[in-house]
Amino acid sequence: MQKIIAFFMSIISVFCTMFGIPYYATGEKVDMDKFDLVWSDEFNGSAVDESVWRGHYVWGDYTVRRGGYWDKKMASVKDGNLTIRTAYYPEGLDGGPAGWYSYGMDTGDSYRQTYGYFEVRCILPRGYDLWGAFWLYCEGVGDIGNGGKDGAEIDVFESLYYDTNKKNTVSSNIHYDGYESAHKALGSKKYLVKGDPYSEFNTYGVEWNADGYTFYINGVKSCSTDFGGASQVPEFLILSVETGGNDGVPSCNYLEGLDESVFVVDYVRAYQYKSR
């Protein structure tokens, strides 16, 4: 019976993938017994640990990012959680122009890892065209000619569907060979999250090894891929919220009357395969 159910679920998943229809993760559970926890940030301090997290492409006080700006003042730590706020500042922030401000931060100067299991527990940012994400990255993503083996953008999850009828949807994706004409992308795989991911915590993870990538939602497999050949180099971790648009010009009114939106992160953890 289980084989029959698995067969029909595989048919459904193929159909949904072909037509871009999000569906719930229905695969096997992640086997945590084969991993050791080797790095984590549980956000138990009173501020973002800047010895761990730097601004992702943030130089100085603020940086233009898509339809808004990134500023480190938009990130804070309290009661065991990291919060990245998104809000509109009519007079700007830190000398920046009027606009929507949020933040992206990474471990590029402090921690990188090749292979293992990576997981975040978080509440997604609520709002139209807001783009919360947990992803892995390295400078080799821009190298062209060796597929994704010299580095890939590994999008563990992205939440950018609040403005559609797929509101409780997240996606996963792989990018490599830069972002210009040679750019390659898997094409976002969309999955539903039970409950209200904009007010409830869920976990999003990826198992990455030489064979490829397997994505998980709340410990349940959503999909696997070896697109481009798996990255074989150390990658760092990124948490970010972007606002849609370009050059600081927003594509819409993101929050629809809300004063702000928050991306709340309980923890980020990296596990390595146990030695045999």
Give the bridge partners for 191, in sequence order: 23, 170
In order of 108, 132, 186, the CA distances from 178 in angstroms are 18, 21, 13
Tell me the pLDDT tens digit for each residue of 164-202.
667 799 999 999 999 999 999 999 999 999 999 999 999
CA angle 25, 27, 31 (to 5 degrees): 115
In order of 72, 117, 136, the CA distances from 141 in angstroms are 25, 20, 10
* pLDDT cut 70: percent of the chain above it: 90
Structure tokens at 142: 């821009």
Q: Which domains does the chain have, with CATH numbers?
A: 28-273 (2.60.120.200)
73: Cβ contacts below 8 Å, ≥ 6 apart: 93, 94, 101
Rounded CA gap, 235 and 251, in Å?
Answer: 31
Rounded CA gap, 142 and 233, in Å?
Answer: 13
Model-level pTM greater than 0.75? yes
Q: Under a CB-based contact definition with an 8 Å cutoff, are residues 104 and 55 in contact? A: yes
Rounded CA gap, 217 and 189, in Å?
Answer: 13
pLDDT at 31 over 80: yes
Q: Under a CB-based contact definition with an 8 Å cutoff, are residues 241 and 5 in contact? A: no
Tell me the pLDDT tens digit for each residue of 111-163.
999 999 999 999 999 988 889 999 999 999 999 999 999 999 999 999 988 87
Rounded average pLDDT over 257-264: 86
pLDDT at 124: 97
Residue 34 pLDDT grade (very low, low, confident, very high; cuts 50, 70, 90): very high
pLDDT at 21 over 80: no
Give the bridge partners for 91, in sequence order: none
Residue 252 pLDDT grade (very low, low, confident, very high; cuts 50, 70, 90): confident
Residue 273 pLDDT grade (very low, low, confident, very high; cuts 50, 70, 90): very high
Tell me the pLDDT tens digit for each residue of 63-82.
999 999 999 999 999 999 99
Unique residue bearing structure tokens 């007010």: 199
270: Cβ contacts below 8 Å, ≥ 6 apart: 37, 38, 39, 40, 111, 113, 116, 117, 118, 237
Give backbone dihedrals phi and psi of 172, rounded to 5 degrees, phi first.
-125, 150
50: Cβ contacts below 8 Å, ≥ 6 apart: none
pLDDT at 12: 47
